[in-house]
Structure 1
Amino acid sequence: MRHTPHFVSSDADEVRRLIRENPWATLVATTDAGIVASHYPVLLDETVGDAIVLLTHVGRPDERSLGLGEGEIMVIVQGPHGYVSPGWYPEGQIVPTWNHVTAHLWGVPELLDDDENLRVLGDLVDHFEHVMPEPRSLQLDLEGSRRLARGTVGVRLRVTRFDARLKLSQNKSPEVVDRIVSELESGEHYAQPALAREMRRVHPR
């Protein structure tokens, strides 16, 4: 991503927050067949202290298509984003932009054995189901779940480096920021309330 000092974040806690709140990730690998990408939900391994470690699974044969375990891959996590019109700027400014929260993460995936894979699949289901009125769990049919899990491969990715951007109009005056936030919250054409919340978080009043 473009290196603009206003927007670069080296804060690992910010990256963890982004992953927790936006767990749908893009896995990108360079293989003999070219560049390959797939999309899967990810969880943070919260047991590893300061490291950023992702847990996920892929459906077979994506582990072969992506060459998982053979070399480094990149994982892209995308948070809220949206168009910012120059009409929200002072008179005379005509160049629009696109605000966003994004992280690129790199590491070499580790493929999990069958038992670990089933545990990760169970954790993924539990993570998203716990807010439901009657949460479903793989534990309700463990043998059936184990059979279905054979069609997937569990993955652990210890992140060795990351490149994160919080492009949220940090280079604009407070008055302009307020106008952008207002338009993103309730404007007629380009409302993005989640992006407005991100901007309020980094522009406290």
Structure 2
Amino acid sequence: MYIPKHFQINDDEFIYEMIEQYSFATLFSVHNGEPHATHLPLILNKTENALSGHFARQNEQWKDINNQQVLVVFQGPHCYISPSWYETSKAVPTWNYVSVHVFGELEIVEDQTVILDSLSEMVNKYESPVSSYNYKDVDSKYIEGMRKGIVAFKINITRIEAKAKLSQNHPVERQELVIQELEKSTDQDSLQIASLMKKNLVNNK
């Protein structure tokens, strides 16, 4: 990923926050000699420095991915930035965004206990605390039948690249104008970018 110095993220906690908050990722690998991608939720294990998830068994991307170096892209908030918000007419449109690229070696997981624990962890992450659904209450035979339809994996992280393009290359006054306009929006990504821009300005004062 092309990352100019002023857009580079070196804050591990912020990176982990983006991975966990925007955990529906895109996993890229080479399958049958061509690039392939699958969109899927992933769980971050900071202690093990790893990601875990599973493919649908019918998705043949898994068949030659074991021990392969893969790329996972986590796309954070993003939004259009209009030059009409600036104090000058000498400007062009751009896009502000946060993106995290994770590189690692993928290994297929065969241990059934690990697989079931991983599935339970994923349900607990996404299911509402007040939901009436309880994964542990589901018939074990049904769970076993569904488990046979997936291929679990773990990605041992080797490198992370992270970028936050938040108008840092513009004067502070212009950044403040952009924030004001974004905060008028009802779009959640625009509001999130505005919030991140404000935090960035505060941190750099």
Q: 1:151 aligns with which of 149, 152, 172?
A: 149
Q: How many pairs were matched up?
A: 201
Q: Give the Cα separation in 2 of the matches to 1:34 and 1:190.
A: 35
Q: TM-score, normalised by structure 1?
A: 0.88
Does structure 2 retain, via aligned residues, the 8 Å contact 1:183–1:191? no
Q: Which residue identity does 1:150 align to in structure 2?
A: K
Distance 1:190 1:56 in 2: 27
Give the drift of 1:3. Answer: 2.8
Amino acid at match of 2:148: R
Rate the CA distance shift 1:76–1:189 in 2: closer, same or farther, 3 A. closer
Q: Equivalents in 2 of 1:66, 1:175: separation in Å?
A: 53
Root mean square deviation of aligned Cα? 2.2
Report if aligned partners of 2:185, 2:191 keep a CA contact under 8 Å in 1: no
Kindly provide the amino acid, as one letter, of the partner of residue 180 in structure 1.
V
CA contact (8 A) 1:22 1:77 kept: yes
Question: Which has the larger displacement, 56-65 or 32-41?
Answer: 56-65
- Using the TM superposition, give the Cα deviation of residue 179 of structure 1 relative to its aligned residue in structure 2, in angstroms: 1.2
1:94-122 per-residue CA deviation (whole Å, 9 max, x = no partner) reads 21111110011111112112221121111
| Alpha carbons of structure 1 residues 182 and 62: separation in structure 2 relative to 1, 3 Å | same
Gap runs ≥5 in structure 1? none
C-alpha deviation, 1:61, in angstroms: 2.9
> Out of 57, 60, 67, which is 1:60 matched to?
57
Matches of 1:42 and 1:121 in 2, distance apart? 11
Secondary structure at 2:20 match in 1: helix
For 2:179, the equivalent position in structure 1 comes to 181
Task: Specify every segment of 5 or more residues in structure 2 that has no aligned partner in the other structure, as ranges.
Answer: none
How far apart, in 2, do the equivalents of 1:10 and 1:43 lie? 21
| Structure 2 match to 1:43 | 43
Q: How does 1:113-152 map to 2 (within 5 A)?
A: 113=110, 114-129=112-127, 131-141=128-138, 142-152=140-150
Q: SS state of the match for residue 181, structure 2? A: helix
Q: CA deviation at 1:82?
A: 0.7
Cα pair distance change 1:190/1:125, threshold 3 Å: closer
Mean Cα deviation higher: 72-81 or 84-93:
84-93
Q: 1:111 aligns with which of 92, 108, 116?
A: 108
